[in-house]
């Protein structure tokens, strides 16, 4: 068997965050795709769940929201109905309810709206890269990948520059709530359940709730509609306006989901440049490569490792019965390495086309709202990076986040030779 992750013998525990601290267990995913595409996965921290690992299965199931619902939670951890009600965002709803909220947000994140930020992104990239590259040797996640999404979030939402580091810290505590580097309330090691009613089961969620409320009030008082807020607050076509709770939930989602996913896409791209030196050459050749490069980098990264659904009725699949109430996980990270969908999936091919990866949860109603911003940020960042360097290499081993939900390189020591 090809060994992608040396610590993975093909039988890794997918329910364990520790497994992913060495990178995604690709040997296990490859075996499951081949031998057991609907795998009953034991979970010490709650009810067992189904793991779906094949590309085609996920694309079919992801559309079928009547049978596979988002409205009972989207992570593998179990939650009670009261916890669900207190913590949910529109990610945890199904159409048509989901569509109504999404409608109010789509314009703010449409391709056209985001395209207007290209120059802003380019200026920020120049600033970030000039500072980082001058160091010669540095942690690329910290100095580059973490910087751009945070600062763009500030621009897009219209937040004070001074608040950004605090917001990113809170966002990390929310979404990386299983890595002790990012939170003192490690989700699967908590002794009490005092935070269970808070967004993401985390005190950071409560702090962000308060911040969002105050931000809205302050902006309303000043008549400030900078960033995309005016688009979000505008009534939708049916006359409905976003409610305060919807906004606050959405704001948490934006800070958490909008931040680290792009960060880990950029980090994965930089890491790929270190082990496939031809990528820099291809980027420097430019032209058509930029139509496809961002999607390939985002496929390679797959920061959202899975999302969960819950079966609303019994359903047969691959000779097994998924029972009503069973949790079903779509492992996007596995689908994005599925040999039946992607030629040479373990190779980064910046010219890959078509490239129908599932990193944004494509082929379902929950497809990433921020995908246009993410693609633009990734494209511009690598355009600007490629202009500025002659060579890039690893300066030591990289480290992965301890999370089976968000896949990412949290430390990426690199050495660069600037132009």
CB neighbours of residue 98 within 10 Å: 18
Least Å from the CB of residue 41 to other proteins: 25
Q: Which of 307, 306, 308, 311 is nearest to 68 (CA)?
A: 311
152: exposed, middle or buried (Cβ count in 10 Å: 0-12, 13-18, 19+):
buried
Decide whether 107 or 415 has the Cβ nearer to other proteins: 107
Distance CA 335, CA 299 (A): 10
Distance CA 310, CA 315 (A): 11
Distance CA 9, CA 225 (A): 53
Decide whether 176 or 368 has the Cβ nearer to other proteins: 368
Distance CA 139, CA 72 (A): 38
Q: Would you call the peptide bond into 204 cis, given omega within 30 degrees of 0 as the criterion?
A: no
Least Å from the CB of residue 370 to other proteins: 12
Least Å from the CB of residue 57 to other proteins: 13
Distance CA 129, CA 122 (A): 10
Decide whether 90 or 400 has the Cβ nearer to other proteins: 90
Distance CA 53, CA 33 (A): 6
Least Å from the CB of residue 254 to other proteins: 17
Least Å from the CB of residue 343 to other proteins: 14
Least Å from the CB of residue 368 to other proteins: 9
Least Å from the CB of residue 44 to other proteins: 34
Least Å from the CB of residue 371 to other proteins: 7
Distance CA 225, CA 71 (A): 32
Instruction: Determine which helix (DSSP H) or strand (DSSP E) holds 351, and give its type and residue range.
Output: none
Backbone angles phi, psi at 12, to 5 degrees: -70, 155
Least Å from the CB of residue 70 to other proteins: 12
State the alpha helices, DSSP H only, in 194-288.
203-222, 229-233, 244-275, 278-285
Decide whether 111 or 135 has the Cβ nearer to other proteins: 111
Decide whether 62 or 403 has the Cβ nearer to other proteins: 62
Backbone angles phi, psi at 317, to 5 degrees: -160, 135
Decide whether 375 or 399 has the Cβ nearer to other proteins: 375
Tokens for 293, please give them: 């490069």
- DSSP state letter for 323: P
Decide whether 65 or 201 has the Cβ nearer to other proteins: 65
Decide whether 89 or 202 has the Cβ nearer to other proteins: 89
Q: Which residues bind other proteins (CB under 8 A)?
A: 59, 62-63, 65, 95, 99, 102-103, 106-107, 110-112, 236-237, 354, 356, 360, 362-367, 371
End-to-end CA distance of the chain: 41
Q: Would you call the peptide bond into 354 cis, given omega within 30 degrees of 0 as the criterion?
A: yes
Decide whether 182 or 372 has the Cβ nearer to other proteins: 372
Decide whether 43 or 363 has the Cβ nearer to other proteins: 363
CB neighbours of residue 189 within 10 Å: 9
CA distances 9 to 6, 31, 37, 232, 339, Å, are 8, 10, 17, 48, 19
Least Å from the CB of residue 111 to other proteins: 6
């Amino acid at each position: 068997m090809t060994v992608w992750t040396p610590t993975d013998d093909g039988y890794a525990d997918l329910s364990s965050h520790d497994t992913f601290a060495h990178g995604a267990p690709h040997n296990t995913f490859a075996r499951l795709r081949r031998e057991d595409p609907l795998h009953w996965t034991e979970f010490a921290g709650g009810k067992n769940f189904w793991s779906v690992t094949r590309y085609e299965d996920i694309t079919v199931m992801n559309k079928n929201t009547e049978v596979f619902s988002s409205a009972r939670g989207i992570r593998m951890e179990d939650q009670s109905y009261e916890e669900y009600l207190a913590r949910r965002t529109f990610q945890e709803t199904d159409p048509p309810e989901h569509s109504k909220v999404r409608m109010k947000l789509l314009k703010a994140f449409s391709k056209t709206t985001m395209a207007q930020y290209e120059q802003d992104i380019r200026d920020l990239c120049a600033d970030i890269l000039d500072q980082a590259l001058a160091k010669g040797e540095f942690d690329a996640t910290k100095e580059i990948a973490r910087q751009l999404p945070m600062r763009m979030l500030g621009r897009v939402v219209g937040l004070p520059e001074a608040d950004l580091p605090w917001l990113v810290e809170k966002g990390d505590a929310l979404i990386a709530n299983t890595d002790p580097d990012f939170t003192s309330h490690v989700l699967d090691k908590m002794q009490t359940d005092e935070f269970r009613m808070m967004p993401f089961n985390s005190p950071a969620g409560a702090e962000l709730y308060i911040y969002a409320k105050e931000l809205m009030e302050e902006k309303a008082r000043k008549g400030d509609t900078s960033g995309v807020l005016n688009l979000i607050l505008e009534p939708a076509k049916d006359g409905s306006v976003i409610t305060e709770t919807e906004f606050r939930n959405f704001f948490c989602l934006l800070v958490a989901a909008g931040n680290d996913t792009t960060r880990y896409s950029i980090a994965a791209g930089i890491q790929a440049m270190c082990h496939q030196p031809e990528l820099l050459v291809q980027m420097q050749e430019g032209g058509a490569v930029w139509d496809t490069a961002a999607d390939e980098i985002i496929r390679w990264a797959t920061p959202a490792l899975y999302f969960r659904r819950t079966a609303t009725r019994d359903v047969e699949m691959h000779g097994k019965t998924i029972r009503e109430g069973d949790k079903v996980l779509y492992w996007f990270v596995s689908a994005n390495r599925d040999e039946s969908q992607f030629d040479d999936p373990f190779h980064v091919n910046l010219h890959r086309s078509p490239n129908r990866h599932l990193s944004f949860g494509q082929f379902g109603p929950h497809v990433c709202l921020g995908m246009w911003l993410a693609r633009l940020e990734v494209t511009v960042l690598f355009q600007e990076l490629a202009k500025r360097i002659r060579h890039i290499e690893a300066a030591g081993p990289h480290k992965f986040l301890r999370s089976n939900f968000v896949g990412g390189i949290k430390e990426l020591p690199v050495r660069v030779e600037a132009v």
